[in-house]
Amino acid sequence: MSAPPAPAPTTPVGAISPQMLHAMLDAIPARVVVIDRQHRFVYLNQEALDFVRRPASQLIGQPLAAVVGEAAYQAIYKPLHEQLFVQRQPARTEGWVDYQGGIRRYVQEHFLPFGPEGHEADSVFVFVRDLTGLKLREAELSAKVRELQVTETLKASIVDHATAALVTTQADGSIVDFNPAAEAMFGLPRPAVLGRNVAEVLIPERFREGHLQGMQRMRSGATPRLMGKRVEMSALRGDGSEFPIELLLWRTQVGAQVFYTASISDLTERLASREEIERQREALRQSEKLSAMGSLLAGVAHELNNPLAIVMGRASLLEDKCDDEALRQDAQRIREAAERCGRIVRTFLNMARQRPSQRVDTALNDLVIAATDMLAYALRSHGIELVLDLAGALPVVPADPDQIGQIVLNLIVNAQQALAGQPGLRRIRVSSGLEARRPDRPQRVWLRVHDSGRGVAEEVRARLFQSFFTTKAEGSGTGLGLAVSRSLARDHGGDLVLEETPQGQGACFRLSLPLGGEAGPPTLPAVLETEGGEGQGRVLVVDDEAEIADLMRAMLESAGYEVATAESGAIALEMLAEVRFDAVVSDLRMPDMDGAQLWRQVRERFPGLARRMLFVTGDTLSPSARRFLDEGRSPSLDKPFSRTDLLEQVRRLIDNGDPA
C-alpha cells in the first residue's frame, strides 16, 4: 500500500465527551474497531477485545493483519483503501474470515470513513456483526430441507419402483395411494381406484363382509389380528379373476389421521414353483429309488460275473477237448447260453450307467438365470443377497445343458450352505464373462460364484475336489458335488477351480468352458516304451478266486503261454521279484492288495511291466475303478469274457505293449 497523505486535523467530538463515547461503544453488542490510514488499530471496543482475547495495550498501534491474518488482509481489507480513505465512500463486506489462531467466523462488516470535511479520511470505523451461528443454523436448516426433499423423493421413487404392490387407505377404507406395481398386479389404473373403498375394488365378494368387520374392530380400538403379519389370501383383479397373494399390513398415524398400508406380493408364480419343486422332489425320490435299484442291480451283476466267466471259459475249453461231435455241441450250447447270460448282465450294467453327454449350443447365462430362479426363495428365506453380474451377449458353448446346469446349481447351493448361520452380510455374487483370446487354447467363457462366507481353510483346499471329502456337518453332504462338477467340466474340455481370495473374504469358484467344445488335454501319464517280442511268453495271473485263476490259466496255456498264478497282490510282487514275466493279468478287486495297489507297486519296482498289465473286472461301474483305469491307461476285460477276448488282449500286450 502506498504511503497515504498526511491527515487533516481531527474534528472535535463536540458535546459528547470521550468517556461517554467509549462507554457507548463498549455497550454495543457488536465488534467496533477504528483503524488509521496505515490500517493500524486506533480503538477496539470491549466486544472486539473479548473476541480476540487480548488487552487493548497489545493491539493499539498493531496492523490489522495481526488479528485477521495476512491472507484475509490482502484479500479483503487492503483492496478497500482507495474507496475508504481517498474517496471517503462507505463499504460493506460479508463472508467467512479466517482469524489468527485458526478461528473461522462468518461476519458482516460495515466500513465508515471519518475525517475533516474536504479532506481524505484519516480513520475508518469498522462495525462487525458476527453471523456465524445464524449462518450455521441456516446451513443446517437448508441441509435438513434438502435431506427431507431427498428423502421424500427417494421414498416416492421406492414406492413407484417397488416390485411389491403398495396400497394405502384411510381409516374408512378409501384408497389414497396405489403404486405402479399395484396397477400392474391388479390391472387397474391409479385414477380409477383413488377414493374408492378397497373392499369393493380388490377383495373378492365372499370375503368383503369379514374385511369390513375387521376394519370396524380396528376403528373401535380392538387389537388388530392381521397387523404386522404375513398373510396368504385371495385378491381380485380388475378383470374379475381371483389370484393368491401374500399381504403385510401396517398402520401409520399422521397427526389425527390414521392410514393403513398393505404390501402385496403375487403368489401365482411362487405357488406354481412350489408345485413344480414338489413334482421335482417326487421325481428325485423316484430317481433315488431307481439309483438304489441300479446299485443293487450292479452288485448282483458283479456277483454273477465270476460264475458266468467260469461257465463260459470252461465250456469253451470243453469244446476244444471233445472229440465226440455230440458232446462238442452240448458244450457249445452251454457256452452260448452262458454268453447270452453275459450279454444280459452287460445290458443291466449299461442301463445303470449314466447316459452319454448330449452336446448342444448352450447359453451359460440362461443356465445361471434358471438356477437362481429355482433357488431365489431359498436364498431370500435364508437372508442371502444374490448379485448377478452377467456379461451381455456371451457366445453359446457346445455343452450338455443338464450337466452344466447341475454344476451351476451345485455351486450356488454350496455357497448358500457356506453362509448358513453366518452373522452379518450374506451375499452370493454370480458373474460371467469371456476370456481374452490365447494362442495356446480355444477361447473360453467363464462363470464365478463368490460368497461372502469365511472361505476355505488352507489345509483343506488341496482335498476339496476329492470324492467323498466334505467340510459340511455329518448328514449335510456326500462329498461328491464338487468332484462330480469338476469331472463334468473337464469332460466338456473346461475346468472348475477354487480361486485365491484374501483370508475371510469368502470362497470363489470359477467354471470355464471352451467355445469350440474340444476335450481338454489329457492328464494321464505318457505311454512307456517297452521292448516287444513275438510269439508266446510267460504270464502271471493274479486272482483271489481260485476257479477264475485256474480258468484263465487253462485258457492261456491252451494257447501256448507259460502261466503262473498268485492268489493276492502281495504274493504276485514276491513272484515278480524272482521271475521275469512278459505280462500280468490281474483281478481289479481283491482283499489285502487290490489291482490298483498292485499296479502302483509294479510301476515303482518294474516300470517296464506296468504297461503290460491287463485288469479283469466286473466292477466297471465303480467310480474308483473307472478313475484308476483312466489314470493308468490300463486295458481292462469285463467279466464274463470269452477265451478269444482274453487271448487277444494278452497277445497285444506281449507283442506290442499296446492295450486293446
Q: Could you count the other beta carbons within 10 Å of the beta carbon of residue 180? A: 14
How many residues in total does the chain contain? 660
Let me know: does 513 contact 489? Beta carbons within 8 Å. Answer: yes
User: What pLDDT, on a 0 to 100 scale, did the predictor assign at position 218?
Assistant: 76
Strand ranges for 515-645 from DSSP E = 538-542, 562-566, 583-587, 613-617, 636-638
Rounded to the nearest integer, the mean pLDDT of the chain is 80
User: What pLDDT, on a 0 to 100 scale, did the predictor assign at position 296?
Assistant: 67
Q: How far apart are CA 314 and CA 642, in angstroms?
A: 10
User: What pLDDT, on a 0 to 100 scale, did the predictor assign at position 518?
Assistant: 44
Q: How far apart are CA 140 and CA 147, in angstroms?
A: 10
User: What pLDDT, on a 0 to 100 scale, did the predictor assign at position 278?
Assistant: 82
Rounded to the nearest 10 degrees, the angle between the axes of helix 268-321 and helix 643-656 is 90
CATH number of 360-514: 3.30.565.10
Q: How far apart are CA 570 and CA 567, in angstroms?
A: 9
What are the φ and ψ backbone dihedral angles of 128, each rounded to 5 degrees? -115, 120
Residue pLDDT, tens place only, 159-212: 777 778 899 998 888 999 999 999 999 999 999 989 999 888 888 988 888 888
End-to-end distance of the chain based on CA atoms, in angstroms? 107
* Extents of the domains making up the chain: 18-130, 162-266, 271-352, 360-514, 538-656
CATH H-level, domain 538-656: superfamily: Response regulator (3.40.50.2300)
Let me know: does 174 contact 197? Beta carbons within 8 Å. Answer: yes
CA 233 to chain centre: 34
* Range 162-266 classified under CATH 3.40.50.410: no
- pTM here is 0.32
Q: Looking at the domain 18-130, which fold is it?
A: Beta-Lactamase (3.30.450)
Strand ranges for 12-68 from DSSP E = 31-36, 41-44
Residue 97 DSSP symbol: E
233: enclosing H helix or E strand: strand 230-236
pLDDT-flagged residues of the chain (< 50): 1-3, 6, 8-9, 11, 13, 347, 350-352, 355, 474-479, 517-535, 658-660
What are the φ and ψ backbone dihedral angles of 471, each rounded to 5 degrees? -100, 5
User: What pLDDT, on a 0 to 100 scale, did the predictor assign at position 244?
Assistant: 92
User: What pLDDT, on a 0 to 100 scale, did the predictor assign at position 6?
Assistant: 47
> b/e map of 471-493 (b: 16 or more CB within 10 Å)?
eeeeeebeebbbbbbbbbbeebb
The matching CATH number, chosen from 1.10.3860, 1.10.10, 3.40.50, 1.10.287, for 271-352 is 1.10.287
Q: Could you count the other beta carbons within 10 Å of the beta carbon of residue 239? A: 8
Our CA angle for 561, 562, 563, nearest 5°, is 105
Residue with C-alpha cell 463334468?
Answer: 488
Q: How far apart are CA 293 and CA 145, in angstroms?
A: 72
Q: How far apart are CA 344 and CA 516, in angstroms?
A: 38
Contacts of 531 (CB under 8 A, 6+ apart): 608, 657
Residue type, 191: P
Residue pLDDT, tens place only, 375-407: 777 788 888 899 999 988 889 999 888 788 888
406's grid cell: 447341475
Let me know: does 217 contact 224? Beta carbons within 8 Å. Answer: yes
User: What pLDDT, on a 0 to 100 scale, did the predictor assign at position 607?
Assistant: 86
How do 583-587 and 636-638 pair as beta strands?
unpaired
95's grid cell: 463472508
Strand-pair partners of 615:
586, 636
- In this structure, the dihedral spanned by the alpha carbons of residues 473, 476, 481 and 483, taken in order and rounded to 10 degrees, is 30
Q: Are both 18-130 and 162-266 of the same fold?
A: yes
Q: How far apart are CA 435 and CA 445, in angstroms?
A: 6
Q: How far apart are CA 394 and CA 391, in angstroms?
A: 6
